[in-house]
Structure 1
Amino acid sequence: MQRVVVNHRGGQCKWGLRVATIAFAWSLLAGGETFAQSPSTFNQDFRLWSPVFMTMKLPSSFLAYMEVQPRFADLDEDGHIDQLLIRPALGYQLTEHLSIWQGYAWVGNYNQRHTPPQSPFFDESRIYQQVLYTRKFESFKIVSRTRLEERWIEHVDGTAVRFRTMLRGQYALPMAPEWALVAADEIFVHLNTVGSRGPEAGFDQNRFFVGINRTFSKYFNMDVGYQNQLLNSRSIPNLANQLNHMILLQFFINI
């Protein structure tokens, strides 16, 4: 009697390839929309973001997270720090692929446009809730992150609520599996309008990233690549009016 062998890994790999292809195509589509307007309608800037993300496993399926993210602006001119984010969180691993999180973020905004005697610095505090889905296949990794933020911005009365969702696809190169191609897209939407100086309900921004990932060990890997950030500034009438081109250099530590 002939034995029939079902190759589940092959099926998973093919399914993963389809998902990764869809994720990459969606990222390209969303990123391409940033150029729907004429370049003359945008303010443009060259920037560098260099975040460090650390995730730690705790007993009883709990997780700890810390993020420190300096952001630099105007690199084509004098260059200066633009923002500093500090973002801790506590999570719980519901299943092998799904986790939920509750976190806090402090955002310092430096060297901002201002009219004296106003300060060029203002800060923001946030709390956020997050759902994270991660799925690994033979050569692919898919990450989906959905986050709801409640924001308290200095000089703005009230609580601004923002929804954001990110999809990331990562493909390990067969000839060098420690290297991977990465594409990601994240869209942000304000859910309410807060005063005359705060966020306005509707589209806030889109971030599109393409780059490479290098895995050094099971504890440490990093991304380097290009990120396109399309912003909707309330002070200018167009839907999207700030276009930032940036080098994104990010480090991932898993303990």
Structure 2
Amino acid sequence: MRRSPALLCSLALLTLPVVAHAADDEQLWTTANVTVKLGEKWRLSQEVVARFSDTRNGLYEIESNTLLGYRISKKVTIWAGYTHDPLYNSGDFTVMEHRARQQVTFDNLIKIGPGTLSARLRLEQRWREGIDGTAWRLRPYVKFVLPFQEGKKTALVLSHESFIDINDTSFQTVHGEERMRNLIAITTPLSKSINAEIGYLNQHGFRPGRPDTSDNVASFSLNFTL
């Protein structure tokens, strides 16, 4: 219990926007995710994310993620799948990106006071149509969920994700940590099978030799479990 406030403060600080020497953008991200139980061990997940940007004049990405998961234990699940990711500018299509995705999730890994810590390690291989090269990227992620009341599911969510570029291509040019996402949100159940999350996300992009970027994102998601 004595460690909980320190961890909570540390995670909260991570969610603050990094604005010094950064070019700002105001964005909106909307997400819908459906997870279907295919049996005792198997899971199928379908997620669609639509992203809108002020500086890019509207829609700039529709990310569709399809994953098949296998539960190794109550807390550990391995996943593999495909991401279909068309990119846009001012609502006009620019380029198609394809990704292979593999990940392992650790659900409710550690209990810290009244909250729980979860984690995920994701590996991606990225291709863009008409552009040579395969871009490899690692995405470690950690999330802390703190219920407002004991035994209730409405909770504060704090998360951090880093994007670490393993190699360089013509469209992946930052070797090492290329960006990080820090989120503070409220999650609450709407029904037995539907959960909503709304919050603020800061996406900070590292650009060696150029000003960093800082995207201020209003984030809204609906999660369905069937």
TMscore range, shorter length: 0.7 to 0.9
Matched, 1:253 2:213: no
Tell me the residue number matched to 1:203.
177
SS of the equivalent of 1:65 reads strand
Q: 1:125 to 1:51 in 2, by over 3 A?
A: same
Encode CA deviations 1:65-122: one digit per residue, 9 max, x unaligned.
0001101110xx794111100000101000001000001101111017xxxxxx8611
Tell me the residue number matched to 1:116.
none
Q: Is the 8 A contact 1:20 1:142 kept in 2?
A: no
Report the number of matched residues: 224
Aligned partner of 2:104 among 111, 118, 131: 131
Aligned partner of 2:67 among 83, 89, 96: 89
For residues 79 and 188 of structure 1, the distance between their equivalents in structure 2, rounded to whole angstroms, comes to 25
For residues 34 and 78 of structure 1, the distance between their equivalents in structure 2, rounded to whole angstroms, comes to 20
Aligned partner of 2:123 among 148, 163, 169: 148
Q: Is the 8 A contact 2:15 2:158 kept in 1?
A: no
For residues 211 and 178 of structure 1, the distance between their equivalents in structure 2, rounded to whole angstroms, comes to 13
For residues 166 and 226 of structure 1, the distance between their equivalents in structure 2, rounded to whole angstroms, comes to 17
Q: Is the 8 A contact 2:145 2:158 kept in 1?
A: yes
State the one-letter code of the partner of 2:188. R
Encode CA deviations 1:32-80: one digit per residue, 9 max, x unaligned.
5834xx3xx3221100001111111112511100001101110xx7941
Encode CA deviations 1:126-151: one digit per residue, 9 max, x unaligned.
00110001118694333211100000
SS of the equivalent of 1:50 reads strand
Q: 1:120 to 1:218 in 2, by over 3 A?
A: closer
1:218 deviates by: 3.1
SS of the equivalent of 1:194 reads coil
1:27 deviates by: 2.9
For residues 219 and 17 of structure 2, the distance between their equivalents in structure 1, rounded to whole angstroms, comes to 20
Query: Structure 1 unaligned runs (5+)?
Result: 1-13, 113-118
What TM-score results when the alignment is normalised by the length of structure 2? Answer: 0.88
Query: Structure 2 unaligned runs (5+)?
Result: none
Matched, 1:158 2:136: no
Encode CA deviations 1:160-219: one digit per residue, 9 max, x unaligned.
000001111111111792421111111111000114x43332111100000111112331
* RMSD of aligned Cα (Å): 2.7
For residues 73 and 246 of structure 1, the distance between their equivalents in structure 2, rounded to whole angstroms, comes to 9
Tell me the residue number matched to 2:146.
171
SS of the equivalent of 2:50 reads strand
Which structure's residues are more often strand, by fraction?
A: 2
What TM-score results when the alignment is normalised by the length of structure 1? Answer: 0.78
Q: Is the 8 A contact 1:160 1:199 kept in 2?
A: no
Tell me the residue number matched to 1:3.
none
For residues 134 and 212 of structure 1, the distance between their equivalents in structure 2, rounded to whole angstroms, comes to 18
Aligned partner of 2:88 among 95, 110, 123: 110
State the one-letter code of the partner of 1:243. S
1:250 deviates by: 1.0
Stretch of structure 1 that moved more, 51-60 or 220-229: 51-60
For residues 130 and 188 of structure 2, the distance between their equivalents in structure 1, rounded to whole angstroms, comes to 42
